[in-house]
Amino acid sequence: MGDFMDRLQKVIANSGVASRRKAEELISQGKVSVNGEVITELGTKVSEKDEILVNGIAINREEKVYYLLNKPREVISSAHDEHNRKTVVDLIDEDKRIYPVGRLDYDTTGLIILTNDGELTNLLTHPSNEIDKVYVAKIKGTLTPSEIMALKKGVVIDGFKTSKSKVKVKSIDKKNDTSIVEIIIHEGKNHQVKKMFEAVNHEVLKLKRERIGFLDLTGLNSGEYRKLNHKEVSKLYEMTK
């Protein structure tokens, strides 16, 4: 890579220690040193050889990696699990310390991004960035037009009103009294999709995330993953701008 120079606050944000704005505050407050010298000037250029300490602790500056995983059921969306259950990180053959961006429930399947890029993680998980997350749910019963309307306009879950969503009934199984519904949301609150359907009195029997922004599950069977290429990573950054 050679001696690549980058702005100090960006390097700190990339390491995942703090958002870029927070990094700028830390620099202004004199909490950051480069090669033993406190730096308070924003936009100071640093190279890969420079030692950067934030609050006296060296930041992690390893090469950034990005993976797309088709998460199987019964796998935990975190880097560690106190009950020693299998996690999404266990499925990926990578020595660097990666972690999932956002989460999918234990029994929810589908698309999840894993990376060691702290800045991208912050951008993607911030609700103001309105990135489409497309889910397909198998639910008990059939949605009425007024229930569909309620979901589209936003329902209250845990005292929080969901923002507008798109809802499309894909198929109805009258015999088993279930239906398949596609729902597109922007936020990612805990168990959000399940709770949204519960708010209109339908239980979610199965749930899969099929798409995040322009990324989908093409070519990935359950448990399979692939690396994102530079173009895809740049596009993710662009989407969050």
Active site positions, annotated:
105
Nearest CA to 115 out of 15, 12, 1 is that of: 15
Strands 204-212 and 109-115: parallel
C-beta of residue 208 within 8 angstroms of C-beta of residue 105:
no
SS3 content of the chain, % helix, strand, coil (to 5): 25, 30, 45
C-beta of residue 108 within 8 angstroms of C-beta of residue 209:
yes
Strands 109-115 and 99-100: antiparallel
How far is residue 16's CA from residue 12's CA, in Å, rounded to a whole number? 7
All residues at 6 or more sequence positions from 218 whose CB lies less than 8 Å from its CB, including other chains:
none
